[in-house]
């Protein structure tokens, strides 16, 4: 054997020794717990059962692929279902640790690759693994982090070029100071707003909680006053509302977050104080969120009737009913479109089936399944489809959507909530105006 051959033989022997004879470092405890919990949930709770061997095969291939990304070629480890889950997952842990050690990668990255592959192997588009960063982004979409400011939403004013308030969040410093939607800010502290971008103006309005900002306001085209407002931590809203002509309230639910029912109650309370005679509930582009929030809002309209039927794994069905706790007894139209999905379809379907609201717009997305979101020990999370639901009339909307009662296509360059630029809203208002007229005594 030549010197070069002996050297190559020594290297191969060393590689075999490192991969086989020497035990790989154990996974960090939190990461190992992620693997165990994910495997348990996927095998035990997924609505459509999946073979544990399919999960393991996907994890094995993912480990080889993750190693390839590190520039190392390894044979996918052989993983088999053992007599009990603990033994099976312990073997998976060992394979993850060995692949990471052989590839000079982190055990966390390899564990995440394995878990992600197992979730995808279920074959369900909504079953998903989130890294800690991804989970944070997911949560922020439903429950945005609080920001330090005065509690307004702004846009450039098309007439003056200054900054116009499009919404004042209830119970915030701006609301308590008396600012209103439609007010134009001509200056923020000493900076004129004319020509400022939304980003630049927002930066001036925000600041450390407890500090103050001065805004000069023009209202209805007339110079009003200067307001000095103390900044606070403010929760970005998931619900916005306003009164439309004819005393018709407009409530736009952007997502069903944890705070959404409370925000909705505030909106309804304020519209009632303004003598609302009817209501437009806008669920367009609402991709859903928490089922509990959708049910709570549905209960504001529906009393003593079914809200939905949930079918869990094994065809176990449970019907969820509303009690007598309504807060809205006005005529209601519900705006929907192709992006009205999931939790928002639960509310839309319940209001339609129970005869409470008239749906206006186009067919909804068609997501009739429900997910359970489980945070994992190291800050990651796994979301698994665990149930299928039916509307109160036991309609299956999954992959079908909900047809509106009154079909109205969206106009080009639509601006939601702006009567002049929102054909679907105009149709909803026209319908409600007829309902109001019919209800008037002769």
Indicate which residues carry an active-site annotation: 342, 353, 367
CA distance 180 to 169: 10
- 179 to each of 164, 170, 208, 231, 329, how far by Cα in Å? 11, 11, 20, 14, 30
User: How many distinct helices (H) and strands (E) make up the chain?
Assistant: 12, 19
CA distance 80 to 63: 15
- 310 to each of 199, 242, 294, 369, how far by Cα in Å? 44, 34, 14, 9
* Closest to 358 (Cα-Cα) out of 336, 378, 343: 336
CB 177 within 8 A of CB 229: yes
* Closest to 338 (Cα-Cα) out of 361, 315, 357: 361
Tally of CB atoms within 10 A around 346? 26
Residues linked to residue 360 through DSSP beta bridges, in sequence order: 335, 406
């Amino acid at each position: 054997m030549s010197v070069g051959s002996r050297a190559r033989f020594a290297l191969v022997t060393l590689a075999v020794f490192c991969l086989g004879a020497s035990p790989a470092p154990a996974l960090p405890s939190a990461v190992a717990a992620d693997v165990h919990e994910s495997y348990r949930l996927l095998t035990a709770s997924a609505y459509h059962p999946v073979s544990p061997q399919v999960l393991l095969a996907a994890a094995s291939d993912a480990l080889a692929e993750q190693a390839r990304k590190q520039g190392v070629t390894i044979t996918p480890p052989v993983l088999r279902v053992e007599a009990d889950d603990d033994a099976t997952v312990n073997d998976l842990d060992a394979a993850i640790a060995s692949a990471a050690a052989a590839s000079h990668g982190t055990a966390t990255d390899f564990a995440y690759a394995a878990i992600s592959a197992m979730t995808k192997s279920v074959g369900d588009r909504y079953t998903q693994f989130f890294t800690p960063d991804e989970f944070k982004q997911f949560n922020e979409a439903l429950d945005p982090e609080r920001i330090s400011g005065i509690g307004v939403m702004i846009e450039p004013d098309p007439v003056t070029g200054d900054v116009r308030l499009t919404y004042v969040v209830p119970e915030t410093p701006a609301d308590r100071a008396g600012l209103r939607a439609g007010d134009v800010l001509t200056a923020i502290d000493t900076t004129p707003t004319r020509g400022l971008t939304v980003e630049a103006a927002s930066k001036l309005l925000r600041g450390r909680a407890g500090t103050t900002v001065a805004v000069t306001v023009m209202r209805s085209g007339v110079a009003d006053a200067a307001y000095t407002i103390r900044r606070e931590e403010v929760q970005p809203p998931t619900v916005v509302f306003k009164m439309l002509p004819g005393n018709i309230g407009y409530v736009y639910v952007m997502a069903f977050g944890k705070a959404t029912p409370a925000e909705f109650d505030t909106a309804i309370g304020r519209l009632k104080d303004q003598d609302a005679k009817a209501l437009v509930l806008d669920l367009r582009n609402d991709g859903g969120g928490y089922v509990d929030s959708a049910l709570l809002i549905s209960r504001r309209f529906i009393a003593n009737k079914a809200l939905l039927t949930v079918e869990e794994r094994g065809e176990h069905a449970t019907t969820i009913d509303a009690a007598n706790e309504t807060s809205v007894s006005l005529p209601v139209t519900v705006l929907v479109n192709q992006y009205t999905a999931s939790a928002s379809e639960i509310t839309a379907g319940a209001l339609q089936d129970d005869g409470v609201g008239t749906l206006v717009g186009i067919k909804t997305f068609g997501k009739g399944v429900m997910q359970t979101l489980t945070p994992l020990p190291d800050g990651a999370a796994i979301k698994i489809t665990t149930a299928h639901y039916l509307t109160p009339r036991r309609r299956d909307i999954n992959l079908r959507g909900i047809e509106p009662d009154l079909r109205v296509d969206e106009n080009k360059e639509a601006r939601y909530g702006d009567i002049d630029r929102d054909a679907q809203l105009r149709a909803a208002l026209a319908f409600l105006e007829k309902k109001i007229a019919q209800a008037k005594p002769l």
